[in-house]
Structure 1
């Protein structure tokens, strides 16, 4: 079996340098690192995980925790895209990913207990609801954590500019001549839902538009079903809106279906704008105008912050808000 001493002998570097490469130490030149890794590949060397853990005092494992009420988890396009980006950075640094739950060995436990049993080095939390008391226990445990889609105090967080994105959407609809603009909310029990609804209300004030009765509707979940039912309520209003801003693309897709099932047309009768820019949004008919979140950057920044916290014991709390942009497609039109 090939050892680090065999690789050291073949490359001419010391066993210490070879060991540093496999343990991702930063004080190794890239040329040296590349030569050692290439030689290891040629010789069929695989680092021993247990020996590596003893050397570095780390498990080289990061936990992924979903704290959200819908149960959709990674099936939601937003979550999947962010985790894929997070995974690229983490794996490139030598870490494995595992999902954290409250079940260990067939019995119920807390998140903290699961993390300690598995010995994870840190946790990335995908958050859409913080109603779970075990979640706060995890944040207080001292295990390095970074939270996506929220901004609590004393914990690393990465999120999009939800308020600014909402205002972009409303300003665009206003520029098209719309003055009756409703909002399908994702629910104020979530950070994103609360922030996007606040942005909608703030934009109304900026544009000197009245918040009309019944013009904010939705549910606690960012789902197509919720969007469909919310749009039905808006269409039943006597003072029907000419445009609808939905807090998520799945909500917007459901809203478009409801308009069509009502015998109306998007954008002919009602303009619809979403938030997220999931891949599906550009392929539906009409293609959805939406506020784009940079899911790749969200995952990348979250990984960099968490790995810095793990490897460099960086205790300075970082809260990063990433910019968004408006993607103009076919689901909105000027008022005539």
Structure 2
């Protein structure tokens, strides 16, 4: 079957080839009805703008792609600009940000470890890799440019993914959705075992520390983008599991969510601040991600509240900075490098052929007990 070209789309849509190109590369410059018609026809015919026509003419490019919204938002290691970050001088992190040393709150994060695994698996298999990130929430060009150059594409979680033409892409190349729980597309879905991780935390807090009053902190409404370390689908699943396991143990789950703000919000952690001011903090704060836990610990310490003596704080992810906090962060470690490796393997196994229906793989997690809960 011949590959669909821009000329086919232009002819059926009654538009010029330039307009078709603009619909993908500069959608803000195309009328809404024209853009919608072009995207609909492109999806029907399975058209993907090609950034590497020569490779696609052979049917394969020998390259895999990985795409994220936050990959380019953090300053690179050794840039000398880390000191400009508002949190770079935090006393809760035992890491220098002077000179060429990175701020561990900027690098490495969840996405960095997943990317490392993806890169290692591509290297092992002799495949090239293309990386990309959106510059804005409706950035069709950045994802279609990558998709047109690769044999398969992995996408990191983001609240913006639904705004991309992914249903069209899923018909033309294999997609792996990392950390995404809603199986809307014929694609592979790769996650860690969020429910098991939360169960391990709740069990530890109840059985070891005899906690009967705890609250969840994290963006469970999908308002945050990944730049804050918030993987919205994962955090929602963690919150749901948290409520479930509290109820199983006969604990009050009505106040299970203490704060659902996100890091880019103007009212970030307001509920936590109000709880501090009114002296109604629970015995433990279970945070949806490690980075949320870092912010919570900083807020508590700045307010003269001791962790873990006054309030226990836990995280979820197991990123490097958790080992450098004071106290060290009790967390759930997910196999982030393995997530990246598995994503690459799943794409390689398809040989460029899209999935016909959703396929899901869940990887195990483990509790890492440290000082922020009173252990270690």
Q: TM-score, normalised by structure 2?
A: 0.65
Within the alignment, does 1:148 sit opposite 2:181 as a pair?
Answer: no
What is the correspondence of 1:135-284 to structure 2 with a 5 Å cutoff?
Answer: 135-151=165-181, 152-153=183-184, 154-175=186-207, 176-189=209-222, 190-213=232-255, 215-221=257-263, 226=268, 229=270, 231-284=272-325
Q: Is the 8 A contact 2:140 2:164 kept in 1?
A: no
Deviation at 1:110, TM superposition (A): 3.6
SS of the equivalent of 2:315 reads strand
In structure 2, runs of 5+ residues without a counterpart are 1-51, 76-105, 223-231
Decide whether aligned partners of structure 1 residues 257 and 70 sit closer, same or farther in structure 2, where only a CA change above 3 A counts: farther
Within the alignment, does 1:125 sit opposite 2:155 as a pair?
Answer: yes
Within the alignment, does 1:323 sit opposite 2:364 as a pair?
Answer: yes
SS of the equivalent of 2:305 reads coil
What whole-Å deviation, never above 9, does each CA across 1:174-206 have from its counterpart, x for those lacking one?
111111101101333221121011011111111
Aligned residue in 2 for 1:65:
67
Within the alignment, does 1:114 sit opposite 2:141 as a pair?
Answer: no
Q: Is the 8 A contact 1:112 1:141 kept in 2?
A: no
Deviation at 1:159, TM superposition (A): 0.5
Which structure has the bigger radius of gyration? 1
SS of the equivalent of 1:275 reads coil
Aligned residue in 2 for 1:93:
125
CA distance in structure 1 between the partners assigned to 2:271 and 2:123 by the alignment? 41
Q: Which moved more, 1:207-216 or 1:283-292?
A: 207-216
SS of the equivalent of 1:320 reads strand
Structure having the higher strand fraction is 1
Deviation at 1:251, TM superposition (A): 0.6
SS of the equivalent of 2:164 reads helix
CA distance in structure 1 between the partners assigned to 2:326 and 2:169 by the alignment? 43
Deviation at 1:169, TM superposition (A): 1.0
Deviation at 1:144, TM superposition (A): 1.1
CA distance in structure 2 between the partners assigned to 1:216 and 1:131 by the alignment? 27
SS of the equivalent of 2:332 reads strand
Deviation at 1:222, TM superposition (A): 8.9
What whole-Å deviation, never above 9, does each CA across 1:272-326 have from its counterpart, x for those lacking one?
0100010110121101100110112111111110111126777564310111110
Decide whether aligned partners of structure 1 residues 194 and 76 sit closer, same or farther in structure 2, where only a CA change above 3 A counts: farther
SS of the equivalent of 2:246 reads helix
CA distance in structure 1 between the partners assigned to 2:281 and 2:172 by the alignment? 51
Q: Which moved more, 1:260-269 or 1:120-129?
A: 120-129
Deviation at 1:235, TM superposition (A): 1.9
Structure having the higher helix fraction is 1
Q: Is the 8 A contact 1:111 1:138 kept in 2?
A: no
Deviation at 1:220, TM superposition (A): 3.7
CA distance in structure 1 between the partners assigned to 2:309 and 2:370 by the alignment? 14
In structure 1, runs of 5+ residues without a counterpart are 1-49
What whole-Å deviation, never above 9, does each CA across 1:7-60 have from its counterpart, x for those lacking one?
xxxxxxxxxxxxxxxxxxxxxxxxxxxxxxxxxxxxxxxxxxx9x958963112
SS of the equivalent of 1:244 reads strand
Deviation at 1:121, TM superposition (A): 1.3
CA distance in structure 1 between the partners assigned to 2:112 and 2:191 by the alignment? 15
Aligned residue in 1 for 2:336:
295
Q: Is the 8 A contact 2:64 2:344 kept in 1?
A: no
Q: Which moved more, 1:127-136 or 1:176-185?
A: 127-136
